[in-house]
Amino acid sequence: MPSRFPPRETLHRHPGDGWVACGDHRHWGLYGAAGLLLARRGPGIRGPIGPVTDVVLQHRAVWSDQGGTWGVPGGALAPDETPVEGALRESLEEAAVEPRTVHVLGTHVLDHGPWAYTTVLADVMPGARVTPGAADPESLEVRWVAVDEVQTLPLLPAFAAAWPVLRARLDDVRR
């Protein structure tokens, strides 16, 4: 009978992998964790940049922590890796999003003292085409999701709690 877990060699392992205790719960990433919230925008009324229409989301593998939920591609930071570097690396490994197609807008940090999760907010670079997809066994599916449909999905609880703030931050971007 095949294992419900992927073979260890198919996962991207690094020294940042591991659990950190935080009060009565635990978090993945010895040096914290980060993920990429990549947005696609429609045309604007007064210019080429309009409102956010879609974001890239990952349907997490069932075997993973809080598996079966949707969130942003992301994971544990490697030693000496910045949250932006980690989020871009993770989105390439898990969602096939090339870093050269991403324009970083800013970050949003969930700080738990001994551990932090950084959501990197970004737009698709002008003229770039991004076709996300499940690039490793950590994802059941990765795709563009219309912003109005995000809350209809079974979201990772921390992402569900942060989504209203993250969406507002994306909507407030002015270039």
pLDDT band at 143 (very low <50, low <70, confident <90, very high): very high
SS3 call for 84? helix
Q: Which CATH class is domain 32-171?
A: alpha beta
Instruction: Please write down the long-range contacts of 17-23, taking CB distance under 8 Å and 24 or more positions apart.
Output: 17/76, 18/76, 20/114, 20/115, 21/114, 22/112, 22/113, 22/114, 22/115, 23/112
Taking only the tens place, the pLDDT of each residue in 99-120 is 999 999 999 998 777 777 899 9
Nearest-5° Cα angle at 80, 79 to 81: 90
Q: What is the DSSP letter of 4?
A: S
Q: How far apart are CA 30 and CA 17, in angstroms?
A: 6
CB distance 86 to 78 below 8 Å: yes
Q: How many helices (H) and strands (E) does the chain have?
A: 2, 9
Residue 174 has a pLDDT of 54
**What are the backbone angles phi and psi of residue 6, rounded to the nearest 5°?**
-70, 155
pLDDT tens across 35-70, in order? 999 999 987 655 557 889 999 999 988 877 777 899
Mean confidence (pLDDT) of the chain: 83
Domain range summary for the chain, segments of one domain joined by + = 32-171
Q: How far apart are CA 36 and CA 30, in angstroms?
A: 19
pLDDT band at 126 (very low <50, low <70, confident <90, very high): confident
